[in-house]
Structure formats: structure tokens, C-alpha cells
């Protein structure tokens, strides 16, 4: 009888230990997933900052370069397209959704690059203090986007690594955790942009 109680106590301790371990691993995965979501929210935050700056930049440029209306309209369309695509934290596991979001943001980046090349043609515009301030803000925003994309990818790497490491992978599969997609450069990102005057 006594040996039966000891065996039962050992089984209970082992079961409680396994449950405690599983809860601990699950909590770590929740923290890692929330970190990914927070980093993604920051990426969206800097994209929103850029979207908010673009109308001011366009209006400033319109005042000085009315003859380049095509470029300005392209920037406006690209901003509208980029702003219309929202990517929720739940969709981060879908590489296609992330790809669509990234394509819209890249379209806006390209339009802004063409706008800045256009500005190079107009010394009056370059000397305008308002434009220079907006241009500096836009350049700063582009740098922030780069930093936040990197931080997001680091958080995704840490999260995905936790999902794949044993024995945490067991808890991850039981808990329904899914790998997140990385933010990747487009295929033509390695090609330097062509600047023509």
C-alpha cells in the first residue's frame, strides 16, 4: 500500500512538472508572439508617418513645380494605394499578404524617389526652406522604416526559432502557434535606381 502511494506521488509530481513546463513554454511563446506584433505595429507606425508627410510634400512641390504634375499625381496615387492596404498581426503568417503590403509600400518609395529626382531639376524648389524641412523629415522617415523593418525581422527570427526548437516545438504545435513571415526585399531591390536628368 505504501509503495502504491509513493508511486502515485511520483506520477503526480511528474505530471505537475510537465504541466508547469508546458505552461512556461507557452508563456514564452505568447511573449515572443506579442513582441512580433508590437514590432509590426511599429513598422506600420512609421509607414503611417510617411503617409502623413507625403501630402505636405506634394503640396509644397506643387507650388514650385506645377509643370511636373504627372510625378506628383503618381506620388498621390501611390500613397493612396499604400495607405489602403492594412496588414493585421493575424495576417503576418501569410507571406502573400505581406508581399502585397510590401509591394504597395515599394510603389510609394519608387514614386517618392522619382519626385526627389524631379526636385533636383528645380533650384528654386531646393532652396525653399519648407521643402527642405519636409525632405529631411521624409528621409528620416525612410531611415526609420528601415530600422523598424530590421527590428521586426529580428523579432520574427526569435519567435520562429522558439517555434522550431525542441521541446518547445511540441507545445507550439499543441498550442496552434504558426510561423510568421519575414519582411523581405523585392526582387529588383539589388538593382540600383536609374537617375536621369
Q: How confident is the prediction along the chain (197 residues), in pLDDT tens digits per residue?
A: 888 888 888 899 999 998 888 888 888 888 888 888 888 888 888 878 777 777 777 676 666 655 556 666 677 777 776 666 676 777 777 778 777 777 777 777 777 776 666 666 655 555 566 667 777 877 888 888 888 888 988 999 999 998 888 888 888 888 888 888 887 766 655 555 453 43
Total-model pTM:
0.59
Domains parsed from the chain with CATH numbers: 2-182 (1.20.1440.20)
On the 0-12 / 13-18 / 19+ scale of CB atoms within 10 A, 78 is buried
CA angle 8, 13, 16 (to 5 degrees): 125
* pLDDT value of position 13: 93
* pLDDT value of position 171: 87
The DSSP H or E segment spanning 197 is none
3-class secondary-structure state, position 178: coil
What are the DSSP E strand ranges found in 69-193? Answer: none
Amino acid at each position: 500500500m505504501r509503495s502504491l502511494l509513493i508511486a502515485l506521488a511520483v506520477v503526480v509530481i511528474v505530471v505537475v512538472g510537465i504541466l508547469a513546463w508546458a505552461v512556461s513554454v507557452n508563456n514564452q511563446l505568447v511573449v515572443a508572439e506579442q513582441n512580433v506584433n508590437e514590432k509590426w505595429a511599429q513598422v506600420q507606425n512609421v509607414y503611417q508617418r510617411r503617409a502623413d508627410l507625403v501630402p505636405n510634400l506634394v503640396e509644397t512641390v506643387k507650388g514650385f513645380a506645377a509643370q511636373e504634375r504627372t510625378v506628383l499625381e503618381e506620388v498621390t496615387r501611390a500613397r493612396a494605394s499604400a495607405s489602403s492596404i492594412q496588414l493585421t498581426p493575424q495576417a503576418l503568417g501569410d507571406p502573400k499578404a505581406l508581399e502585397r503590403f510590401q509591394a504597395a509600400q515599394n510603389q510609394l518609395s519608387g514614386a517618392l524617389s522619382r519626385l526627389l529626382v524631379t526636385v533636383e531639376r528645380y533650384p528654386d524648389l531646393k532652396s525653399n526652406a519648407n521643402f527642405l524641412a519636409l525632405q529631411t523629415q521624409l528621409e528620416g522617415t525612410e531611415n526609420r522604416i528601415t530600422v523598424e523593418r530590421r527590428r521586426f525581422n529580428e523579432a520574427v527570427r526569435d519567435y520562429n526559432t522558439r517555434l522550431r526548437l525542441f521541446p518547445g516545438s511540441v507545445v507550439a504545435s499543441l498550442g496552434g502557434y504558426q510561423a510568421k513571415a519575414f519582411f523581405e526585399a523585392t526582387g529588383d531591390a539589388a538593382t540600383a535606381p536609374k537617375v536621369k536628368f
